[in-house]
Structure 1
Amino acid sequence: MSNMDLALKDMMVIEGAIGAAVVDYSSGMALGMLSSTKSLDLQVAAAGNTEVVRAKLRTIEQLGLNEEIEDMLITLSSQYHVIRPMTGRKSKGLFLYLALDRNRANLAMARHRLRGIEEDLDV
């Protein structure tokens, strides 16, 4: 089993997880994905969230901020969507995407676990 497969499985055992993906934001393509529901199209989510990441990175650059994004949170009425750009030398240009059921998820714990998964993942 690959390192990415293990990372995706680790993401899916986070309480409330309904979908997980590792996405290349230069192409918008998911390199790997897992879901527990048919109602979440991870291909569409990967492409759409690529635009979110690109826009935020562009804005940070235009503002002249010397900052890195830790994660981005999108809250919906029934879900949380967490986007975590990867910072490793070999994984630059990728982000982790985690969709959570808002009623079952502990957002602080999910963010903490996602940070650990990102640190351990070598793509």
Structure 2
Amino acid sequence: MPGIDECLLEAMTLPGARGAAIVDWTSGLALGSVGASPNGDPEETATETAEVARSAAEYRAFTPGDGALDQQPGREGLQVEDLMLITRNGFHVIRFVETTFDSSVFLYLWLDRHSGNLALARMRLRDLSQRLVLV
């Protein structure tokens, strides 16, 4: 079971990986990061991606049913699994990490658009999020 550092290093083995982070989406703080950052500042990237993740998790358009965060703890109401943003030069993938405790963590991966494989990245992030050990 990989911890934060091992998880990030494994994410960086994906084709086209430029940077990765594990972020707390309630505070916007990076628990760890590796590689480059799209804006040159990993902490600013963590804050910005946390805003995107929080919006998707809280807005009912993305969480049909009873609402997104009304059913905490454990985020049982959160139905969003992945977020993908595609820019001219890259793929940005956010994968929510499900845990047995009240987790508000996601994996963020920035891929080069020309050499990255979005399908493979989604599958690998899903696997990493299931094996990640947060202590």
What is residue 105 of structure 1 aligned with on the other side? 116
CA contact (8 A) 1:19 1:40 kept: no
CA RMSD of aligned residues (A): 2.2
* Runs of 4+ with deviation above 3 angstroms: 36-40, 61-64
SS at 1:108's partner residue? helix
Does residue 43 in structure 1 map to residue 43 in structure 2?
yes
* Unaligned runs of at least 5 residues, structure 1: none
What is residue 81 of structure 1 aligned with on the other side? 92
Letter paired with 2:84 = L
SS at 1:99's partner residue? strand
SS at 1:80's partner residue? strand
Aligned residues: 122
CA contact (8 A) 1:71 1:85 kept: yes
Tell me, in whole angstroms, the C-alpha distance in 1 between the residues paired with 2:97 and 2:18: 21
CA contact (8 A) 1:3 1:121 kept: yes
CA contact (8 A) 2:12 2:19 kept: yes
Q: Deviations over 1:46-97 (max 9, x none)?
A: 1001111111111138965255111000000010000111111247100100
1:96 aligned to 104, 107, 129, which one?
107
Letter paired with 1:104 = S
Letter paired with 1:75 = I
**Structure with the higher fraction of residues in helix conformation:** 1
